[in-house]
Amino acid sequence: MKKTINSNSDFFRYMRHCTYGTPVIFIIINVFISFILFTISTSEIKKDNAFPFEEFSAGIGFRDGSIQQSSFVSDTLETYNAWAMLLDSTGNMIWEYGLPEKLHKSYTLSDIAMFSRYPEDNPVKLWKHELGLLVIGFRSGRKFRNGPLNDPRYFVPVNNCIIVMLILNFISILFLFVQNMRRFEKAVDPVLNAIHCLSLGKPFKLEETGRIAYINAELNRVGEILIKKDKSRINWIRGVSHDIRTPLAVIMGYANELESNLSLPDEVREQAGIIRRHGDKLGHLISDLNLAAKLEYGAQSIRHDTIVPAELVRIVVSSVLNAGIPESFAVRICEDPTAEVPAFTGDSVLVQRMLANLIRNSITHNPNGCVITVSAGICGDICFFEVSDTGCGMNKTAMERLNSGESAFGLNTTSESSEHGLGLKIVLKIVEFHGGKAVFTGNVPTGLKVKIELPLDGSRA
Partner 1 sequence: MKDRTILIADDEADLRKLLLSVFNRAGYTHILTASSGNEALKIWEEKSPDMLILDVMLPGKDGFEVLKQIRQKSRVPVLLLTARGESEDKIAGFENGADDYLVKPFLTQELLLRVQAILNRSYPDKERVIRLGETQIHLDSSEAVCADKTSALTATELMILNKLLDNEGRIVTTGALCEVICGKSWYGYESTLAVHIRHLREKIEVNPSKPLSLLTVKGIGYNLVVKGGTQ
Residues of this chain that interact with partner 1 (CB under 8 A) are: 238, 241-243, 245-254, 256-257, 260, 279-280, 282-283, 287, 290, 308, 311, 314-315, 317-318, 321-323, 332-335, 340-342, 349
Residue closer to partner 1 (CB basis): 238 or 437 = 238
Residue closer to partner 1 (CB basis): 166 or 323 = 323
Residue closer to partner 1 (CB basis): 77 or 386 = 386
Least distance (Å) between residue 201 CB and partner 1: 19
Least distance (Å) between residue 301 CB and partner 1: 10
Is the Cβ–Cβ distance between 92 and 82 less than 8 Å?
no
Least distance (Å) between residue 355 CB and partner 1: 13
Least distance (Å) between residue 285 CB and partner 1: 11
Nearest to 323 by CA among 292, 359, 288, 365: 359
Residue 412: how many CB atoms within 10 A of its CB? 13
Residue closer to partner 1 (CB basis): 89 or 263 = 263
Residue closer to partner 1 (CB basis): 180 or 260 = 260
Residue closer to partner 1 (CB basis): 67 or 299 = 299
Residue closer to partner 1 (CB basis): 217 or 258 = 258
Least distance (Å) between residue 319 CB and partner 1: 9
Least distance (Å) between residue 238 CB and partner 1: 8
Least distance (Å) between residue 274 CB and partner 1: 15
Residue closer to partner 1 (CB basis): 18 or 330 = 330
Residue closer to partner 1 (CB basis): 24 or 262 = 262
φ/ψ of residue 452, rounded to 5: -110, 130
Least distance (Å) between residue 283 CB and partner 1: 4
Residue closer to partner 1 (CB basis): 279 or 393 = 279
Least distance (Å) between residue 177 CB and partner 1: 54
* Angle in degrees, 0-180, between the axes of helices 422-433 and 266-296, rounded to the nearest 10: 40
Round to whole Å and give the CA distance between 243 and 249: 11
Nearest to 85 by CA among 126, 130, 116: 126
Least distance (Å) between residue 376 CB and partner 1: 11
